Amino acid sequence: MATIAGADAPATAKQFPQTSHFVGLNQPVGQELSLTGLSVEGTLPPEVLGSFYRAVPDPHFAPKFDDDNVLSGDGMISRVSFNADNTVDYAIRYVRTARWLAEEDKGHARFGRYRNPFTDDADVAGIDRTVANTTPVWHAGRLLMTKEDGRPYAIDPVTLETRGSYDFGGKLKSKTVTAHVRIDAATSEMFLYGYEADGEASTKIAYLIVDKDGHLTSEQWFDAPYCAMMHDFAITENYALFPIYPTTCSLERLKAGGDHWVHEQETDSWLGIMPRYGNVSDMRWFKGPKGVSAYHFMNAFEDANGIIHFDQCLSNTNAFPFIREASGIHMAPWEVQGALTRWSVDPKGDATDVTQSVVGPPGDFPLIPARMQGRPNPYGWMLTMDPQMKGPPLAGGPVGAMFNTIIRLDVAGAAGQVLDALALPVGWSLNEPVHVPSNDPDHLGYIVTIVDHQTGDNQFEHAAWVLDAGALHKGPVAKVAIPARLRPQVHGWWVPQGALDAAE
Ligand code: V55
Ligand code: FE
């Protein structure tokens, strides 16, 4: 299986714009591929046997508008299978979304700007325009490719074929489902939500609970303080947390062909908290600082006094350069500052504002063992930049710069502490890691990640690395070169072989 998208397109086919979203590591690959029996340097720990899924945006046609960005790229689902014979298989396929099929049918892009249906060709009106490119979510034996602007697509976990748009057996009312779900390891329930749940620029949020068998058992709607980009949320043992940062949408702007998102530096952020099995009418809104933004959260938990702590990769503005540009925010890269930031609130107290403290360095893609979800996590991992690095980071990914360092952080104390780190040299980058638990309760498990290495002008090599999660600095315990061009992933998910076998 190896097809090059657009191979049969006329020679006059539109070219990809030469912007940061489409060059270098971000150059579209457009190739479906299946490779088997790749050899591993080192020995795969038995725990990692299974599949590491990756969501990779990769536009299969040049965009209709030259100012398009990485977030609009057609979703590809990729699978790195770690086999019992110490080999690895690699496969990647497009998600056959309704949008992908409609564009494939005509041989060119028909959908317009990022999350603006008013810029689409008239004859695609009503066709689902999500690209399902953000997170491969595994729950209750089902693999879903998700993106926050639409409903998920169900994927065959073995063949990577697209089964179709997924609405939880007809039960789902929301038009959207987030790419960031939270699974409580103690109950195996999946908690999730959708924003702009009834259409563009809406303040309606759908809060969803899916039971351990995959049945959607609860869907409650509420209004956010304003229509905001709600990329991630959090749970604790007893609460659901809905953070709101002032990256906002306006229907008038969309209708005028404008940008979906504008970041408002002078608008308050909010943290909505409700009992996780309660009624949305019990939501309490706590005020946070103005103008801040976060995409990903390490965790939230309740301490012995019932105080909720919520750890976010928070920045002083929106991390996406294309959103800052649309907002008239002109900041140099070094003026964009952030930290792993803790907001603490007493859900039963009188205070109406969050209390803020810093628990870690700037970075993103925070990670904890699945069993700690919503419970105290004494430590966690995340990607960051090596402050000692003698050169620029690799350009690529949706934000435009790739991370080159993975750290393990102690976040049990008031101020976090870096416990371990692996910093890669100039020209190397790390994609979002996943955690694999160990069979040994005294061992911290393994980290699986894809590593990119620039080897020449517009030439890259890629490998899957397995790191000892408790000894990052030692480098990979096993690695496998993947002999293909890999575009940066957004999110990944690891599924143990036993869960895959049980689902078949
Ligand atoms: C993000 C990614 C998206 C998106 C919105 O990483 C936010 C953040 C890959 O798509 O549509
Ligand atoms: Fe994300």
Q: Are 339 and 312 in contact (CB under 8 A)?
A: no
Distance (angstroms) between ligand 1 centre and the Cα of 79 equals: 20
CA-based torsion, 471, 472, 474, 478: positive or negative: positive
Q: Is 231 annotated as a binding residue?
A: yes
Cβ partners under 8 Å of residue 406, min gap 6: 381, 382, 383, 384, 421, 422, 430, 433, 447, 449, 467, 472
Task: Report the alpha-carbon distance of residue 62 to residue 141 in Å, rounded.
Answer: 35
Task: Report the alpha-carbon distance of residue 189 to residue 143 in Å, rounded.
Answer: 15
pLDDT of residue 413: 76
Ligand closest to 114 (CA) is: 1
Set out the domains of the chain in order of their start, with CATH numbers.
33-502 (2.130.10.10)
Percentage, residues of the chain above pLDDT 70: 97
pLDDT of residue 1: 43
**Burial zone of 370 (CB within 10 Å; 0-12 exposed, 13-18 middle, 19+ buried):** middle
Q: Is 180 annotated as a binding residue?
A: yes
* Identity of the residue numbered 74: D
What are the pLDDT digits (tens) for 345-370?
A: 999 999 999 999 999 999 999 999 99
Q: What is the mean pLDDT of residues 239-257?
A: 98
Task: Report the alpha-carbon distance of residue 408 to residue 469 in Å, rounded.
Answer: 8
User: Which run of H or E residues covers position 500?
Assistant: helix 497-503
Q: Is 263 annotated as a binding residue?
A: no
What are the pLDDT digits (tens) for 207-244?
A: 999 999 999 999 999 999 999 999 999 999 999 999 99
pLDDT bracket for residue 321 (50, 70, 90): very high
Residue nearest to atom 3 of ligand 1 (CA): 71
Task: Report the alpha-carbon distance of residue 382 to residue 297 in Å, rounded.
Answer: 10
pLDDT of residue 6: 47
C-beta of 231 in contact with ligand 1 (< 6 A): yes
| Three-class SS state of 321 | helix
pLDDT bracket for residue 11 (50, 70, 90): low
pLDDT bracket for residue 477 (50, 70, 90): very high
Helices assigned H by DSSP within 49-172: 98-106
Of 148, 151, 178, 489, the residue with max ligand 1 atoms within 8 A of its CB, to mutate for a pocket test, comes to: 148
Distance (angstroms) between ligand 1 centre and the Cα of 179 equals: 8
pLDDT of residue 7: 47
- For residue 383, pLDDT over 70 is answered with yes
Q: Are 80 and 51 in contact (CB under 8 A)?
A: yes
pLDDT of residue 390: 85
Percentage, residues of the chain above pLDDT 90: 94
Task: Report the alpha-carbon distance of residue 407 to residue 422 in Å, rounded.
Answer: 6
Q: Is 473 annotated as a binding residue?
A: no
Task: Report the alpha-carbon distance of residue 432 to residue 364 in Å, rounded.
Answer: 9
Ligand closest to 21 (CA) is: 1
